[in-house]
Chain A
Amino acid sequence: MEWTSEMTIMMADGVRETLFMTLLSTLFGYLLGLPMGVALAVTDKNGIRPNAVVYKILDVTANVVRSVPFLILLILIMPLTKLLVGRSYGTAATVVPLTVAAAPFIGRMIESSLGEVDHGVIEAAQSMGASTMTIIIRVLLVEARTSILVGVTIALGTILGYSAMAGIVGGGGLGDIAMRYGYYRYEKEIMFVAVILLVVLVQIFQTIGMKMSVKLDRRHR
């Protein structure tokens, strides 16, 4: 098989589309998942403002959304996607189901990161008369910073994986290329190149994420 310049352009487009979907979905995922995770951590029975009702509602929501397989979710929420983006297919349209799938997963990671914060530090802030909001912003999120960044790295990798299924709704991206050429047309070389590019992207996210979290950690120097 001859490697043509069209293929190079196709791969470049694939990388661009994959990055677009992954980064945008992660961003929106955190816009929803961060408050959700904070609310889970705070209303937990060992949290700073226990609230069994709120906790249970968020807890069940997170579990339900996370139980639905991504492909099913993608089709299930098509009406919502159409409402938000104007159409239910294409790269931009894929961001909606990706965000919905990512948010509860991100919420759980935030909940777990905040749960790791030393209770003594929270108690110290309470003893100074700090409000719940102050403790969330100035203590919990600050002390959990490293763990949250590790979470972002994991989220990016996972969402990038989900985005490969976007081909179903004409979402494009490297995953789509790999499926169309490798799975449907047996053009293995193109599939390999696409997969290798995916691996490289994950590797880059992972490396940058871990470097940043270590650099920003003040605990051991």
Chain B
Amino acid sequence: MAGMIEVRNLSKTFVTKDANVEALQDINLSIQTGDIYGIIGMSGAGKSTLVRCLNFLERPTEGTVEIEGRDLSKLSEWELRAQRAQIAMIFQHFNLLMQKNVIDNICFPLLYAGGRKSTMSKEDARKRARELLEIVGLKEKERAYPSQLSGGQKQRVAIARALAANPKILLCDEATSALDPQTTQSILQLLKQINRDYGITIVIITHEMSVVREICSHVAIIGDGRLVEQGRVADIFSHPKTKEAKELIVKGRGEERRTLESHQKDMMKGKCCIRIVFSVNSSFEPVIANMVLRFGQPINILRADTKNVEGIARGEMILSLPDDLQMQREMKAYLTERGLAVEEVDGYGMD
């Protein structure tokens, strides 16, 4: 079976005054119906150009792009516009009409897009727009203007607008790059839900490995205008072959840790948390285990790590203590007696 998107030998060269810039060279991709396909690369690798070639916002210099077996370069101008209505796109900076309210933004593709004049009445478009607002969870923001919304809300409106014309494909160009980690999570979950519920094939352009790991089934790694590695996300993570893949995975670990830490910070709110530091000689006795046995209370270990301080390895742990104040005091005393440095921390004592 031919894929939803087939890219063959695609190259794109930008001609500028000074030189020809080869943005993409000989790219081959096959994206199947229902995939969530990540395209990842460092900035300047050519991934934004590649995604624009998928709906011919950029015309490839060489090679072909086929959507469900139709070669885009063979379409007439209005056939191409009709095809584009099937390929929705969301952007890093949302790109909403700033002078129109939420519902009019979502109605835009229903009323005016796809080449020919739409047959849909204004009332029907509004009805459909309201359904979409419900899906993205912004029902009450119908009359708001984009300037009154947060970044995450704007992206939700953009997603609703993208879904309006029942597309088969959703292209996401750095769609979460302008959002904070929590909002990124919620947008990714929404994309996952859309993929599952409507079977829309999703292509995600990103520079963050954590995004790929979170929702993608397949990934292609772009480096310097070339496709260096592609395959199932799980395979690439466990056996990265190229230097680029390895670099991105290592970089991704840092990102993931930051996401994890921000989750932990939420967990630590309102809890008594302490940081304890083990020196070399204190690790003979199983201190934490003994303390749990002694007090008969469970301790939540939020983080454990080793740090190299002036050439000596030191263990560090962050514990969340039970709510009982008396118990907290006794536990701290217990740990101090055993030669551990104990320090109370709030959510931000972790870096």
When distances are taken between beta carbons in the complex, the residues of chain B under 8 Å from A143 are 97-99
| Interface residue from A121, A123, A125, A221 paired with B113 (Cβ < 8 Å) | A125
Q: Mark A113-130, 1 if CB is under 8 A from B, else 0.
A: 000001011011111111
Minimum CB–CB distance for B117 against chain A, Å? 9
Total residue contacts A-B, CB cutoff 8 A = 82
When distances are taken between beta carbons in the complex, the residues of chain B under 8 Å from A125 are 108, 113
**Chain A 126-159 interface residues, beta-carbon cutoff 8 Å to B:** 126-131, 134, 138-139, 142-143, 145-146
How many residues does chain A have at the interface if contact means C-beta atoms less than 8 Å apart?
A: 25
When distances are taken between beta carbons in the complex, the residues of chain A under 8 Å from B57 are 123, 126-127
**Chain B 142-164 interface residues, beta-carbon cutoff 8 Å to A:** 145-148, 158
> Which of A15-23, A73-81, A173-181, A212-220 is the interface stretch?
A212-220
Complex: how many Å from CA A221 to CA B143? 13
| Interface residue from A129, A216, A219 paired with B147 (Cβ < 8 Å) | A219
Chain A contact residues: over half helix, strand or loop, or mixed?
helix
Check: B3 CB closer than 8 A to any chain A CB: no
When distances are taken between beta carbons in the complex, the residues of chain B under 8 Å from A219 are 98-99, 145, 147
When distances are taken between beta carbons in the complex, the residues of chain A under 8 Å from B115 are 129, 131
Would you call B148 and A145 a contact (CB within 8 A)? no
**Chain B 73-110 interface residues, beta-carbon cutoff 8 Å to A:** 78, 80-85, 87-89, 91, 93, 95-101, 108-109
Would you call B97 and A120 a contact (CB within 8 A)? no
When distances are taken between beta carbons in the complex, the residues of chain A under 8 Å from B147 are 218-221
Would you call A128 and B96 a contact (CB within 8 A)? no
When distances are taken between beta carbons in the complex, the residues of chain A under 8 Å from B55 are 127
Minimum CB–CB distance for A118 against chain B, Å? 7
| Interface residue from A121, A128, A131 paired with B109 (Cβ < 8 Å) | A128
When distances are taken between beta carbons in the complex, the residues of chain B under 8 Å from A126 are 57, 84
Complex: how many Å from CA A127 to CA B109? 10
When distances are taken between beta carbons in the complex, the residues of chain A under 8 Å from B83 are 129
How many residues does chain B have at the interface if contact means C-beta atoms less than 8 Å apart?
A: 34
| Interface residue from B80, B88, B93 paired with A128 (Cβ < 8 Å) | B88
Complex: how many Å from CA A219 to CA B148? 8
When distances are taken between beta carbons in the complex, the residues of chain B under 8 Å from A124 are 89, 91, 95-96, 158
Would you call B145 and A128 a contact (CB within 8 A)? no
Complex: how many Å from CA A108 to CA B81? 30
Check: B198 CB closer than 8 A to any chain A CB: no
**Chain A 168-221 interface residues, beta-carbon cutoff 8 Å to B:** 216-221
Minimum CB–CB distance for B149 against chain A, Å? 12
When distances are taken between beta carbons in the complex, the residues of chain B under 8 Å from A130 are 81, 112-113
Output the residue of B83, B84, B112, B146 with the most chain A CB within 10 A: B112
Complex: how many Å from CA A143 to CA B113? 17
Would you call B95 and A128 a contact (CB within 8 A)? no
Complex: how many Å from CA A130 to CA B77? 11
When distances are taken between beta carbons in the complex, the residues of chain B under 8 Å from A139 are 97
Check: B236 CB closer than 8 A to any chain A CB: no
| Interface residue from B100, B112, B165 paired with A134 (Cβ < 8 Å) | B112
Check: B114 CB closer than 8 A to any chain A CB: yes
Q: Which residue of B lies closest to A130 (CB)?
A: B113
When distances are taken between beta carbons in the complex, the residues of chain A under 8 Å from B84 are 126-129
Would you call B85 and A129 a contact (CB within 8 A)? yes
Complex: how many Å from CA A158 to CA B97? 31
Would you call B108 and A128 a contact (CB within 8 A)? yes
Minimum CB–CB distance for A218 against chain B, Å? 4
Complex: how many Å from CA A127 to CA B148? 25
When distances are taken between beta carbons in the complex, the residues of chain A under 8 Å from B80 are 129
When distances are taken between beta carbons in the complex, the residues of chain A under 8 Å from B95 are 118, 120-121, 123-124
Q: Mark A100-120, 1 if CB is under 8 A from B, else 0.
A: 000000000000000000101
Minimum CB–CB distance for B54 against chain A, Å? 10
Would you call A218 and B100 a contact (CB within 8 A)? yes
When distances are taken between beta carbons in the complex, the residues of chain B under 8 Å from A138 are 108, 112
Interface residues of A (CB under 8 A from B): 118, 120-121, 123-131, 134, 138-139, 142-143, 145-146, 216-221
Q: Which 7 A-B pairs have the closest CB atoms?
A: A129-B84, A128-B113, A129-B81, A124-B95, A120-B95, A127-B89, A218-B145
Q: A125-B108, A128-B108, A142-B100 are in contact. List 8 more A-B contacts (CB 8 A).
A: A118-B98, A124-B96, A127-B84, A128-B85, A128-B89, A129-B80, A138-B112, A218-B145
